Structure 1
Amino acid sequence: METRFRERIESWHDLPVPWKSLSQVELATAEWVDWYNHRRLHGEIGHVPPVEYEANHYMKSTKPQVTTTI
């Protein structure tokens, strides 16, 4: 088991890397995080994106704030 794991890790060095600079890696990471939170449909929470589920949760669990203007 340990040998297969080590071989798998070592094989990653042979993979082509699509990014040429740190800024490209940062942009790709930000795009993935945006997709993960805003567009990915999560099956455990009713097939809605996590951000939508969280917004719905807070709308249901908090009382509306009433503001008055004078």
Structure 2
Amino acid sequence: MHINYTKYTHGDIVYLKTDPDQKPRMVISFSIRPGGVAYYELAAGADSSYHFEIEMSDTKDDNLILGI
């Protein structure tokens, strides 16, 4: 038996580390790729996109909003 752990799960609110607007996004699905790498589908309003866990944070980076 093999168990995989993910940092985020369905319904969690996350932010993309490179998004200058720091829009909140909700985790709506995820899958485990070969090697145990988590790949997430995130929704922001009617838009959705796919990202790896390394691109995401559970805290907003206010410095990006300010352009710092």
- Decide: shared fold, TM above 0.5: no
TM-score, normalising length: structure 2: 0.20
Q: Which protein is richer in strand relative to its size?
A: 2
More helix by share: 1
Q: 1 or 2 for the larger relative contact order (CA 8 Å, sep ≥6)? A: 2
Which structure would you say has the larger Rg?
Answer: 1
